[in-house]
Structure 1
């Protein structure tokens, strides 16, 4: 099948969505449809529904929904085309896109190289477990059990010049292919071929799909280099891959990943239960690796070694990630040199607490910079203030700028006003006001005074959408894929939405059927008085606009509550510990920033 559009349609036609989903989670029949506990959020009562006739799924708890391809993308954390290919392969659909001879040869060679690496991984794994050896002893001393050794396919390269080469030749591969794969080396003088990895613990390197594409090997003596990676080949480039991503992409929670430096750091904390973790491959983080992280996460928690090299690597990594729009934090390793030691010394719960308390990258940079100055000297304090102001200048959000100027002020006893002037320069008043206006709306001023009730306009939009969903089955099905209970402001709307969900298969849900629910008479009267004559329920753009307004109103109210909370904390600082105030204000401020971003994206 050559046309990829035809392939996609064929995949959808051949894949029964209920059967596919049942491979990932238990489901039960409910009438002509199916239901189960949602795999995307924790719940005790099923709110995940599969519509067999429309071949779509929808969770009315968290809002996730889509077709069979969307489901596989979410569960496997795959790109769209990779999900299509996965489903095509499972259903015997052949994809033969048009390609030239050169591309065809390259693809075939890539497949052969992957097969060679799989054979090599099996060979190394067999070496590790088939007999007593230093590699197995080393891994056990580092606290790894047999289960985790098997999960990551760890192995051992014996101290031999040609054991792997002879094994792979016996499998039908040529020396030239093995050299091109990077598994054996060729010395032109004397025309000698020999194994590249010898007397090393072997770490297979997988691409994000789980294909073996290279190896990392650690010495067991004083040889150098301590770690040796496969060279760049047709299927492997260490700048373009992240170790452990094949495991992490299926375990990413809240679009957050932990970034570590080494194989052992990753495997150790993975064994303890931190599975959303990836590692660089013996090099500083590259921009390409940053883009890989961006595909799966919005937040990266850096947990590099605590020595000077690790600190410098952290600083370089955060610059790359921040430029890509990733929220960056740094984990405090306390008295430990690396994450492996931390989790073995302090345990899983302490590591989780350290993750939650990770330092925002701006504060980390300021704290690191502070070590270079003697703050007991006035001249040094001034120099530190100027350099730290340059760090704060990296920020775009006035909320964050305000927070970190206050933090810097608390460190050096210089007023926040002076620091802000240093941050913004000569045009302080103008640039600060302009930046603030971008994130501020004058209409919010009376809202901060904590209004007693929801505005009538917002209530009317919400009630209009509810009435539309009651009256039209088609509109209802569409709306339920785009909106959920959390988007509504009124408790009456939330109650009636639950009723709509339970009765969504009805052509029309009449208002009198809701009388048994805990809904106010005033709300029922409001619904009854709303006229839908001017609204075309088949006009997708009009309905989408109503849904967007409901979402915006919900987000705006959430932000109003956060602004009020922020104001309360600032006015009642004496009731909190000084450090606790900073943390609380920062948490609220960052939530406000996130909501503003969401509002801009709607």
Structure 2
């Protein structure tokens, strides 16, 4: 490995900061984080804290802080590159030691730029919280509390030409570096240097690993532009990053992500409890950002502003994400202009309902297209039918094509047959004849799978996973990032999982602690009989395989219930409610298609 940034990122990814620091000092868990006696100054009461989510340390006694590389540099008294080599060797990361001088200088500069941005973020945060200012008033008026302000590191750039510049140069950073970081500007004519961000609410931009790489600033007066982002630098490219991904990546369940436009939209709905959310950085969604989403999600729910610009950005995002094979849905904001206003007006439960019932991209595109035509006019209705048929043509699933041709038919009172002819084109007669021939020569049999009962094998897989989560705290933290109660079939498993989540800080949760729950004797007996000695718990792949099997079993169970429901509807259908029942059957068919896709991804 010889790419400088890749080496640094790989080291930070592999070197768990708690594990590394505990090799030098004794640390104890304190909530979600760890604390201990600071190794850099004498103390009797711990003031040295390790933040596990951000992978950084900070001593509130002497002020020392940084990432895992900074810690090793201090403890081992090493230069940056030597600390990198030590950690790389310790964690089995190969580095091309024949790195040329130019690459070495670039690596040093990346590290220095990251340190500058951390220092700038601290300065902005201190400005916001230690003095009365318009920035804090603005954030409070927008409904943000101090906890969420600190979590996202929000700050305030003073209404000053050089406050940040003076602060950072006093820390030993040069003006030339600050210009390269995009934090100050230089006016050549007058040779004047001045802060880029002034009198703005500041939003630190993190990469997906939690490094501060840039800033966004929201104006507090009539200055333009309203939002100002850091320019592209050695460590920041707005086309390749997503705001909030550092927080969202650990909260993504069922590989579903919510995509919003702005900083405030994201922070607002995050504060309400929607945490699998990311935002673009002042630009329309880019292909690079789409690829980043693809790493974490198979389904994206877009919640952009409801104005014309938001609709245009939504259509652009649909195009990019669809090409990447991501299933796209659009959240209905009702009468709200953006997701921030929606969640404040209707609350968390309504937002979750809107997520669950979000509109499929094809329906959204058809509905949006419809706005361009007056379907009361015959000519417009025909044009709309032809254009909408092109949208349906994008689909590969015959079930989905059938569903949306019926949907379009109901919209414009043109027969399903005619729309299908438009969708399939020349292939329609050939397709139709092959169906007729099939019907003529052989009676079609509808094969309806019976709902599967929970077999012993499926039960054992669930119970094994529950036993691992109960007894192994390290694996528990890992597994809880990947599963929730919807991934289990058995009610006992769900009950125990919810108990574990509430008591996840315990080192080991014994069987007697869960006996008071609504758990059957048979289930408890099974748990007691399971031994983890025969399992290779050090092999992450084997744990992932167990998780995958649990998820597969549950998906199969859901699909079989839907098939049974479909069969019941078919059997009880009568002439009077045929149209309504057909609609329900098609909805179920779409859900089955989605489950089959999820199974393929597993």
TM-score grouping bracket, smaller chain normalisation: 0.5 to 0.7
**Which residues of structure 2 form unaligned runs of 5+?**
33-51, 56-82, 436-441, 465-478, 480-486, 491-521, 535-547
After superposition, the C-alpha distances for 1:236-277 in whole angstroms (9 at most, x for unaligned) are 000000001111111112211111100111111111111111
2-structure distance, mates of 1:245, 1:117? 18
Specify the alignment match of 2:130 in structure 1. Answer: 130
Counterparts of 2:265 and 2:306, CA distance in 1: 13
- The answer on whether the counterparts of 2:450 and 2:560 sit within 8 Å (CA) in structure 1 is no
The equivalent residue for 1:290 is 290
Tell me the distance in 1 between the aligned counterparts of 2:243 and 2:280: 6
1:349 corresponds to: 349
Shift of 1:388: 0.5
Q: CA distance change for structure 1 residues 418 and 571 in 2, over 3 Å: closer, same or farther?
A: farther
Q: Which residue of 2 aligns with 1:477?
A: none
* Equivalent residues of 1:447, 1:560 under 8 A apart: no
Mapped to 2, the partners of 1:194 and 1:378 lie a distance apart of 63
Is 1:165 matched with 2:165?
yes
C-alpha distance after superposition, 1:43-89 (max 9, x if no partner): xxxxxxxxxxxxxxxxxxxxxxxxxxxxx99x9xxxxxxxxx99x96
Alignment of 1:229 onto 2:229: yes
Does 1:328 find its partner at 2:328? Answer: yes
Tell me which residue corresponds to 1:98.
96
User: Alpha carbons of 1:431 and 1:210: their partners in 2 closer, same or farther (altered >3 Å)?
Assistant: farther
Quote the Cα distance in structure 2 between the aligned partners of 1:444 and 1:116: 70
How many residue pairs align between the two structures?
468
Distance apart, 1:309 and its partner CA: 0.3
- Cα RMSD of the aligned pairs, angstroms, is 4.7
Aligned-partner Cα distance in 1 for 2:266–2:120: 22
Structure 2 residue aligned with 1:120: 120
- Measured against aligned partners, the alpha-carbon deviations of 1:331-379 in whole angstroms (never above 9, x if no partner) come to 1111111111111111111111111111111101111111111111222
Deviations 1:398-444 (A, max 9, x none): 11111111111111111111111110101114357999xxxxxx999
Match of 1:533 in 2: none
Q: Which ranges of 4 or more aligned residues in structure 1 deviate by more than 6 Å?
A: 22-26, 88-92, 432-435, 451-454, 484-487, 495-498, 548-558, 574-580
Partners of 2:451 and 2:564 within 8 A in 1: no
Q: 1:594 to 1:25 in 2, by over 3 A?
A: farther
Mapped to 1, the partners of 2:443 and 2:578 lie a distance apart of: 32
* Mapped partners of 1:443, 1:175: distance in 2: 82
Distance change >3 Å, CA 160–CA 418, structure 1 → 2:
same
Q: Which residue of 2 aligns with 1:144?
A: 144
For residues 146-225 of structure 1, the aligned pairs below 5 Å read 146-225=146-225
Conserved? CA contact 2:451–2:560, under 8 Å: no
User: Normalization by structure 2: what TM-score?
Assistant: 0.67
- 1:299-326 C-alpha deviation (Å, 9 max, x unpaired): 1111000000001100100111111111
Structure 1 residues 160 and 324, CA, compared in 2 at 3 Å: closer, same or farther? same
Once the two structures are TM-superposed, the CA of residue 567 in structure 1 deviates from its matched residue by 4.1
The question of 1:308 aligning with 2:290 is answered no
**SS at 1:148 equivalent:** helix
Q: Which residue of 1 aligns with 2:378?
A: 378
Shift of 1:186: 1.1
TM-score by length of 1: 0.67
CA distance in 2, matches of 1:380, 1:170: 68
Contact in 1 for aligned 2:257/2:277 (Cα 8 Å): yes
**For 1:369, what is the secondary structure of its paired residue?**
helix
Matches within 5 A, 1:323-472: 323-430=323-430, 445=445, 447-448=447-448
Query: Match of 1:245?
Result: 245
Deviation at 1:594, TM superposition (A): 3.4
Q: Deviations over 1:497-533 (max 9, x none)?
A: 99599345699xxxxxxxxxxxxxxxxxxxxxxxxxx
